[in-house]
Structure 1
Amino acid sequence: MNDMRRLPMAAIPSLALEGVGFTHRGQTLLHPLDLRLAGCQRTLVMGPNGAGKSLLMRLAHGLLAPSSGRVSWEGRPPRQAMVFQRPVLLKRSALANLTYVLAINGTPYRRRKPLAREALERFGLATLEKRPARVLSGGEQQRLALARAWLVDPEVLFLDEPTAALDPAAIQAVESAVGDFHRRGTRILMTTHDLQQARRLADDIVLLFGGRLVEHSPAERFFSDPQTPEARAFIRGELVW
């Protein structure tokens, strides 16, 4: 498996959300917003509970259709993968979860187990290949989901609260994996409510509050010179739903 992207990072299509909003049963959950994400950045989407972070991710990834506006990729849709807060895993072994994704992506049969074992080794799961995926710990399941995404070789990786409810060691392992994806040339779009995690990982920050986009800025400026009252309050720990 090649560790480096076959395409230059600049070739990753830009993501544009134009007037994108979402309404469910008469309630506006996401007010129309405009957002453009380009290059091989690590964008962290932040905000209090109920701000619309997970909804924005699902709209951007194409799992939901917006009620208004449009989501588009510049030029062509990229290869994408998404890892959820609670990973969706098959009732199979850890190894079989990985060989399955290789099978549906057309990998020759003789290459599936070697590639899957290589991914398990990379994510610290080599000794657990025969363990049923659904009995793994939360941190192990998250790493298995990341290993599965690694095999897809995504140009864009969506991560929805991937470290929520994990212990510090598991959080460190997931953050290390995010770094591996980024160095490989993958654009990262990730939700978190953890300010310190955002300081460690983010290139730019998207802040949502009450279903509205209130700020989008480089991470350094977001933390040193926030431009909106909501951003200043959120950094102080005062912005709650």
Structure 2
Amino acid sequence: MSDAALPLARDMAPPARPAAILPLAVRDLGLRFGRTTVLEGVNFDLQPAGCTMVMGPNGAGKSLLLKLLHGLIAPTSGTIDWRGQGAPDVTARQALVFQKPVLLRRSVAANVDFVLKVRGKDRTRGTALLEHVGLAHKADQPARLLSGGEAQRLALARALAADPEVLFLDEPTASLDPASVLAIEEIVRDASTRGVRIVFVTHDMGQARRMADDILFLSGGGIAEHSRAADFFPKPQSQAARDYLNGRLVV
């Protein structure tokens, strides 16, 4: 099956739960490495539903922000308040997909089964998850033989196997062909309709226009703007965002 042909298994997973760890409140968040400040004074809120696209120039701190929210690194200052939930509980209710998929040296099916086993989920869901991302016909194939688009779809199947309430995506479609991009977007869009909260880093303005409910725009190590996508693209409020949308480099 090609990357362009993506079956969506509507009975793939149990009905979405209410998002117990949302809303999110980030206050005065900062991150320093030695004497270098990479994020400072970051403030924003996320409500339980929707797709937030995180945008900004290279080096603005987008990937680091996702790692902070997911608990992979600790902030130097400020707070990340997931509705009062502690970090261990929060991490178990989230999933993160990187730009370059991190897959086990096992079969396609075994990659998904590993997550189901570790997270204590129903292991019979493995086949349905692979059908959902269009990889059921490659279940017994080594994951290392997948194409770039297929590997990223497997990474998404593994993330969805954890039954997350929040799904972080760090440029998951960078360097992929258009058919693979659209296939991945459809998987993410379907997850969003099921109630999974999406936080998606992208440089692709077309993708952001297609997917976003709101835009979180980073520049200079802080939040330059956080607004509805319907407002951001036609009338950005910050000079940094206007420069970015007009193709001028901002730092």
TM-score of the superposed pair, with normalisation by structure 1: 0.93
1:86 is matched with 100
For 2:131 and 2:117, the matched residues in 1 are separated by: 19
Identity %: 52
Superposed displacement of residue 132, structure 1: 1.4
Superposed displacement of residue 219, structure 1: 0.5
> 1:1-241, aligned counterparts within 5 Å?
1-7=12-18, 13-76=22-85, 77-78=89-90, 79-107=93-121, 112=123, 114-241=124-251
For 1:141 and 1:83, the matched residues in 2 are separated by: 11
Superposed displacement of residue 210, structure 1: 2.0
Structure 2 unaligned runs (5+)? Answer: 1-11
For 2:22 and 2:188, the matched residues in 1 are separated by: 20
- SS of 2:233's equivalent in the other structure is helix
Report if the CA contact (8 A) 2:99-2:172 is conserved.
yes
Superposed displacement of residue 39, structure 1: 2.0
Which has the higher mean CA deviation after the structures are superposed, 131-140 or 194-203? 131-140
**Aligned letter for 2:107?**
S
**Aligned letter for 2:151?**
Q
For 1:12 and 1:55, the matched residues in 2 are separated by: 21
- SS of 1:124's equivalent in the other structure is coil
- SS of 1:224's equivalent in the other structure is coil
For 2:130 and 2:13, the matched residues in 1 are separated by: 15
Superposed displacement of residue 71, structure 1: 1.1
For 1:29 and 1:135, the matched residues in 2 are separated by: 37
Q: How many residues align?
A: 235
For 2:23 and 2:154, the matched residues in 1 are separated by: 28
- SS of 2:30's equivalent in the other structure is strand
Superposed displacement of residue 12, structure 1: 5.2
Report if the CA contact (8 A) 2:17-2:195 is conserved.
no
Question: Could you report, residue by residue, the CA deviation over 1:155-204 in whole angstroms, capped at 9, with x for unpaired residues?
Answer: 10000001001110110011001111101101100100111110000000
- SS of 1:70's equivalent in the other structure is strand
- SS of 2:25's equivalent in the other structure is strand
Report if the CA contact (8 A) 1:93-1:131 is conserved.
yes
TM-score of the superposed pair, with normalisation by structure 2: 0.89
Report if the CA contact (8 A) 1:12-1:40 is conserved.
no
- SS of 2:160's equivalent in the other structure is helix
For 1:14 and 1:202, the matched residues in 2 are separated by: 18
Which has the higher mean CA deviation after the structures are superposed, 155-164 or 130-139? 130-139
For 1:124 and 1:54, the matched residues in 2 are separated by: 28
